[in-house]
Chains A and B, each alone.
Chain A
Amino acid sequence: MVSKDSVQPPSSTPSLAIEKEEDMVALKKQRMNKIEALQAAGFTPFAYRWNKTHSALQLQTTYEYLSPGEQDTRVEISFAGRVKSKRTFGKLIFLTLEDDTGNIQLYVEQQVMARDSFRCIKSLVDIGDIIGVQGWIKRTEKGELSIVAKDWQMLSKSLLPLPDKFHGITDVAKRYRLRHVDMIVHPSVRHILRKRASIVSAIRAFLERKQFVEVETPALHRIAGGADATPFVTYHEALDVKLTLRIATELFLKRCIVGGFERVYEIGRVFRNEGISTRHNPEFTSLELYEAYKDYEDMMLLTEQLIAWVAQQVCGTTEIDYMEEKIHLGAPFRRITMNELVKETLQVDILSYDEVTSAKSALEIQCKASENVKDWDSIDSLGKLLASCFEHYCEKLLVQPTFVLDYPIEISPLAKRHRKDPRLTERFELYIAGRELANAFSELNDPIEQRERLIRQLEESEHGDKELDEEFLVALEQGMPPTGGMGMGIDRLVMLLTNSSSIRQVIAFPLLKPE
C-alpha cells in the first residue's frame, strides 16, 4: 500500500533480489546484528505475548468517522502486526502494519516517544518484522487512519527479507514451496483459505440441519475399496500387516447405514497414488453422505440444494463468475441422461443399437470416433462405448450445472441397477464448468449382485491386489436398507466458488515435485 502521506520514500529498503545467495547471507548477518542491538537496548527480539485490543479492520470501521486531522486520544490502542512498508523522514516515520484483517498506518513522531524507543524503531525495524505498538488513533491531514505510537515492542524479528512486493514471487512453483511467504505477500491466498473454511462450515451446517451425523471412519484400510484408483501402500510394524491409505470413504460409511444410522456423512482426507495436475493432488478432501430409504432422485434434490445454499452463504449469490463464464448455481439443475446427451452432441443413439460394432460404425460415420476416442479398439460393450463418447465429446461442454444420469452398469460397480433399464445404473454425476463435482447412486444393497460386480471389477482393474472385500460383503448380507449416497470433491467446490483455476490455489500446502 502506498501511503498518501509520502511523495517518494527517501530511504526505502532496497529492492530485494531473493535469488542471490551471497546477498542473502549478508542480509541475514545484518539482521542478526540488529537482534544483538535490540537486546543491548533492552528489547526482546522474540517476545512472549502481546495484548491486542483491536484488529486493523476493527480500527478502520470504529474510527471511520474521524475526519482528516482529527484524533481520539481517550482510547488506548494496542495493536500488533507485520511491517509491510517503512518510510523515514528524519523525525517522522510511517510504517504500514498488516494483520489478519487488513492494514493500518503507524505514525511515529520523535517528540511523542521515548528517545531510545524512537532510535530503535528507526534503525532496527525492517520490513517483515512483527511489532506491537501502543498509542492513540488519528486520521492524518492526508486522510490516512493511523495509530500514533507512544511505545512499541519488537515481537518477532525477521531474519529473511520479504520478496519485493511489487514484483512478488514470479516463479509459481516457488510460491507454493514458500507458501507462508506467498501468504504474507499475497493476501488473496489467505482470502481463499478463509473462504474454504466458510464453505466447509456451511456444508456442515446444512447437513446438521438435515440431521446427518458426522462420523470418522478409518483412513488406513486393509483392502482399498470404494473407487478404482491406485492406493498408497504402507506397513504397520507392530501388527506386521500391509495397509493402504483410503481411496474413498464409501464402504465404511455404508457399514454405518447397515448399523442403523440413517443419515451419516464424513468430510475427510482421501489419498490416491496418482500424478499431480491442476485438478489432482495426491491427498484431497471429500464429502460423502448416505441416507437410508433414499434414491438417486433424492440425492439430486439434496445436492442442488446443498450447492445453492453454500454459494448463497459464502458468496452471497448463486450467480457466480468462474473463469470466463457466468455460472448459475440456483436449483434446479439441468438433468439429462448420458445417452441423451451423447445423442444430442453426436446425433447417435448408442443404446438403440443391439450390439457394439454397429453402434461403432454409426459413430465412425458421424464423427470419425475411432480417431478421437481413447482405446477405441478395446471398447467391447455399448455401455463402455457410451461412457467413452461422453467423456471425450460431452464433458467439456457441460459448463452450467448438469446432472448426467444413468451410467452404464459396467463402469458403476457400487450403483444399483436401473429400475427401468438393466444395462444402466441409477447413478449421476454432477458437472459444472466442464468438471465432475459430485457422484451419486442409489446404492447397490443386494449382496449377491454386489459380489458378482466386484469380482468383475477386480478382473478388469489395473490397480491393487485384486482382493475381494469380504467384510464389506458380509455387512451387506446383514441387510442394508435402500440407500442414496453422494460424494463430492471439496477442493473442486472451493475452486469453483473462489474462481480458482488450479487445485493448488485452494490447498494450503499442495504437494510439489521434489526440487
Chain B
Amino acid sequence: MQSSFSSSTEDKDSSATSTAWNGVDMTEVADTEKKPLSKNAQKRLEKAQRKAEKAQNKESQATPSSKKNQDEEELDPTQYLKLRTKLIEEARERGLDPYPHKFQTTRSIPSYVEKYQSLQAGDHLTDVVESLAGRIISKRSASSKLYFYDLRADGAKVQIMADARHANSLEDFSFIHNLLRRGDIVGVKGYPGKSKKGELSIFPTHVQLLSPCLRMLPKFALKDPETRFRQRYLDLIMNAEVTRETFTKRAKIIQFVRQFLGDNGFLEVETPMMNTIAGGATAKPFVTFHNELDMKMYMRVAPELYLKMLVVGGLDRVYEIGKNFRNEGIDMTHNPEFTSCEFYAAYWDYQDLMNFTEQMLSGLVKELTGGYVIEYHPEGKESSSEPIKIDFTPPFRRLSMLDALEEHLQETLPRPLDGEEAHKRLEEICTERNVACPEPRTTARMLDKLFGEYIEPQCIHPTFVCDHPAIMSPLAKYHRKTAGLTERFELFVNGKELVNAYTELNNPTVQRQRFLESAKDKAGGDEEAMVHDEDFCVALEYGLPPTAGWGMGLDRLTMLLTDNNNIKEVLLFPAMKPRTDS
C-alpha cells in the first residue's frame, strides 16, 4: 500500500518494496482511516500540499492528454485494440495485474460529490482518506509529473489530480500514468479537496488500474443510433446523463405501478410465457419446440387468459408485469418482445377501471414531474419542432368509439354491425375515402382502420375511447345497454393506444360463440384472429365473477414519460436487424 498516510515509517518502508500498482489489501483501507497521522507524515503531507497547490496553477494549462496519447487516438480501431492489448500484456509481464479481483471503495462518486461539494476552492482535507473507483472519461497532463483525469461512475463525476510528489516512487507514478487511457476503469485512494479553480477533486496517493479499456472510446459525442442501440454500454458511457436517466426513470415508473397496485390489494403473479396454444390477444406468435415432450409451443402474446383463470380460482385481484412476444416487424413502436402490465379485479367493471386508470396515471405523472402536464416531442427530441403539451389532469375525456366515427363520417352505419349491409357500406367508405385496409377486409378490421385514420390522431390528451363493437373485441363483455357493443375502452395518448381494458366476458356460452366467430375470420385468412381456447372456456364454466381487466404497454408509457418517440430508446437492448456488413 503506497499511502503516505501510513501511521509509521516502518509501514511505509515495507510497503515501498511492493509494487505501486498491485494488490490492494481489503482490510487496510478501513485501518488507515482511523489512525492519527504521525508527525512525520503530517509534515510530508503539508509539503506535498504546498507543492500541489503550486501544481494546480498548471491545471488550466494541462493539455488534453500527452502527444503520445493523441497520436494513438488517430489510429484505426483495430490498430488501437492491438496496440492497447500489447501494452497491457507488457505491463502484465512486468508484474501488473490488469484485472485485479477487488478494489475496496469507501464511498460511491455520487456520495463523494454530495459530501464534499461544499468545500471551498483550494480546500484540501489532508487528514481524510477516501477510495473511489470509476471510468476515466478524460485525461490531461500538465507535465510528466502532473496528470488530471475526469473519473465518472454511477452518473456523477469527479476530477483526479495526480501529482508525482504524492506518490511513493516516481517510477511507479510514471508507469501507471503512462499506462492509463481514456476509458480505463481505475481505483484511486487519496484525500478530497477542491482545486484552485474550484473543481471537486481527489488527490491520490495511489492509483490502480482495475480494468483496461482495450477499445478506443468514441472521440466525440456518440450520436449514431445504430451504434447506440447495438452497443448500449457505449451509449451509457458516452451519453451518461440522458441514457442513464431514461432507464432509471423506466425502473421508477414500473416501481410506481407495482406500488400502486399493491396498495390497492392486487397480488403480483407469474403465468406461463410458453403455451401449447396461442391465445389471449390478436397477434402472430413465436413458435418453438420442446424436445423432451416432443411438442410445439407458442410464446405468449398476452397473459390474459391465465390471469382470468386465477380469478376463477379465487384470487380476486391479480396482476402481472412481464414480457410478451409478437412475431412481427420492428419499427418505431414495435419490438418483438415488450413489457406489459395486466391486472384483473373481481366485481369491478370498465367504469371502475376508467376511474382507477385516471388515478394511477395522473398520480404517476405527478410523482415524476410534480405536475400533471408533460412536454412531448412527437417527432423526436432532436427535431426542431415545438413540443406538445399533454395534460394528465383527471378526469380524462371520454368518447364512444362509434359515435365519434359516425360523427366524423357524418353518417349512421347500418346495423347490425356484423351484418352484410354494414360490411358492404364500410367497404364503400374505405374505397371512397382511400383508406387502405389490406385483405382480409373483415368488418372489424375496416372499422379499426377508419378509426385509426380519423379519430386516433385527435386524441392527444388522454382520452378514453369506449364501447367498441363486439366484432372487434372477442373477450369483452356485451354492453349492458346497447346490443352489438361491448363494455370496453382504450386509452389514447398522443394519438396512440396506451391502455386496453374491458368488463370481462364471463358467460361461457357467449365466449364459445365468440371464439367460433373468430375462427371464421381465421379461416378467412386473418392470421391475427383469436384461437379457440377450450381450457379457458372450461375455466369459465366453473364461474368467473364479474371482473374487469386492464392492460397497458409499459414501453409505450416509458416513451411518453421520457419524451422518446422510438421504442428502442426505452429498451436497453432492442432487437435489431441482423448486420448486413459481416
Chain A residues within CB distance 8 Å of chain B: 28, 45-52, 80, 82, 98-100, 128-130, 132, 155-160, 162, 178-184, 187, 189-190, 193-194, 196-197, 200-201, 204, 208, 213-220, 222, 230, 232-239, 241, 243, 245, 252, 255-256, 258-262, 268-269, 271, 273-276, 282-283, 285, 292-295, 297, 416, 419, 426, 442, 445-449, 471, 474-475, 477-482, 507-509, 511, 513-514
Question: Which has the most chain B C-beta neighbours within 10 Å: A204, A294, A448?
Answer: A448
A-B contact pairs, 7 of them (CB 8 A): A49-B348, A181-B542, A271-B273, A294-B102, A479-B185, A482-B100, A482-B101
Give Cα A178–Cα B191 distance, bound, in whole angstroms.
66
Q: Is B99 in contact with A446, judged by CB distance below 8 angstroms? A: yes
Indicate whether B349 reaches chain A with its CB closer than 8 angstroms.
yes
- Write the B491-535 contact mask toward A (1 if CB under 8 angstroms, else 0): 000000000000100111000000000000000000000000000
Which chain B residues lie closer than 8 Å to A160 at the CB level? 538, 541-542
B347 in contact with A80 (CB, 8 Å)? yes
**What residues of A have a CB within 8 angstroms of the CB of B255 in the complex?**
208, 214
Q: Assess the A180–B542 pair: CB atoms within 8 A.
A: yes
A329 to chain B, nearest CB (A): 23
Q: Determine how close the nearest CB of chain A comes to the CB of B466; give it in whole angstroms.
A: 14
> Is the Cβ of A99 less than 8 Å from the Cβ of B316?
yes
A67 CA / B398 CA spacing, docked (Å): 50
Q: Which residues of B contact A446 (CB under 8 A)?
A: 98-99
User: Is B292 an interface residue when CB atoms closer than 8 A count as contact?
Assistant: yes
* Distance in Å: Cβ of A38 to nearest Cβ of chain B: 12
Residues from chain A with a CB closer than 8 A to the CB of B337 are: 218-220
Residues of chain B touching chain A, judged by Cβ–Cβ distance below 8 Å, are 81, 85, 98-105, 108, 133, 135, 152-155, 183-185, 187, 210-215, 217, 230-237, 240, 244, 247-248, 251, 254-255, 258, 262, 267-274, 276, 284, 286-293, 295, 297, 299, 306, 309-310, 312-317, 322-323, 325, 327-330, 336-337, 339, 346-349, 351-352, 477, 480, 487, 503, 506-508, 538-539, 541-546, 548, 571-573, 575, 577-578
Least CB distance from B149 to A in Å reads 14
Q: Are A46 and B506 in contact (CB under 8 A)?
A: yes
Q: Are B102 and A511 neighbours in the complex by a CB distance under 8 Å?
A: no
**Chain A residues closer than 8 Å to B99, beta-carbon distance:** 416, 445-446, 449, 482
Report chain B residues within 8 Å CB of A184. Answer: 312-314, 542
Contacts of A128 in B (CB 8 A): 542-543
Q: Are A197 and B267 in contact (CB under 8 A)?
A: yes
Also in contact, A477 and B573, with CB within 8 A (given A193-B267, A269-B273): no
Instruction: Say yes or no: B573 contacts A156, CB within 8 Å.
Output: no
A161 to B392, CA, bound (A): 47
B274 touching A156, Cβ below 8 Å:
no
Contact across chains for B292 and A129 when beta carbons are under 8 A apart:
no
Q: Which B residues are in CB contact (< 8 Å) with A47?
A: 546
* Chain B residues, CB < 8 A from A245: 288, 299
Number of A-B contacts (CB under 8 A): 308
**Other-chain residue from A45, A99, A182, A258 in contact with B507 (beta carbon distance below 8 A):** A45
Could you tell me the distance between the alpha carbons of A189 and B230 in the complex, rounded to whole angstroms? Answer: 43
Q: How far is the CA of A419 from the CA of B22 in the complex (A)?
A: 12
Report how far A416 CA is from B313 CA in the complex, Å.
47
From B211, B213, B545, give the contact of A482 (CB < 8 A). B211
Given A46-B506, A283-B273, A295-B101, do A474 and B539 touch, yes or no (CB 8 Å)?
A: no
Q: A155–B542 contact, CB under 8 A?
A: no
Nearest CB on B from A473, distance (A) = 10
- Given the known inter-chain contacts A158-B543, A508-B271, please indicate yes or no for A481 contacting B506, CB distance below 8 A: no
Shortest beta-carbon contacts, A-B, top 9: A259-B236, A183-B313, A259-B233, A158-B543, A479-B213, A238-B329, A49-B349, A180-B313, A159-B541
Alpha-carbon separation in the docked complex, A98 to B346 (Å) = 13
Contact across chains for A508 and B270 when beta carbons are under 8 A apart: yes
Report the Cα distance A189→B269, complex, angstroms: 13
Beyond A48-B349, A156-B506, A293-B104, 4 additional pairs, beta carbon < 8 A: A49-B503, A261-B244, A477-B214, A482-B100
> Contacts A82-B314, A180-B313: A261 and B236 contacting too (C-beta < 8 A)?
yes
Q: Which residue of B is nearest A156, CB measured?
A: B543
Task: Name the CB-closest residue of A to B306.
Answer: A509
Would you call A179 and B309 a contact (CB within 8 A)?
yes
**What is the minimal beta-carbon distance from A172 to any residue of chain B, in angstroms?**
17
- Selected from A50, A189, A448, the residue in CB contact (under 8 A) with B347 is A50
Nearest B residue to A49 by beta-carbon distance?
B349
State the CA gap A449–B351 with chains docked (Å). 60
Q: Roughly how many angstroms separate A303 CA and B470 CA in the complex, as a whole number?
A: 52
Shortest distance from the beta carbon of B340 to any chain A beta carbon, whole Å: 12
CA distance A200 to B288 in the complex (A): 28
Q: Which residue of A lies closest to B328 (CB)?
A: A238
Chain A residues contacting B271 (CB-CB under 8 Å) are: 508-509
- The CA of A508 and the CA of B506, in the complex, are separated in Å by 21
A156 and B215 form a contact (CB under 8 A): no
What separation, in Å, do the CA atoms of A474 and B201 have in the docked complex?
Answer: 31
Q: A442-B102, A482-B102 are in contact. Are A513 and B293 (CB under 8 A)?
A: yes
Q: How far is the CA of A275 from the CA of B315 in the complex (A)?
A: 30
- B200 CB to nearest A CB, Å: 19
Say yes or no: B575 contacts A220, CB within 8 Å.
yes
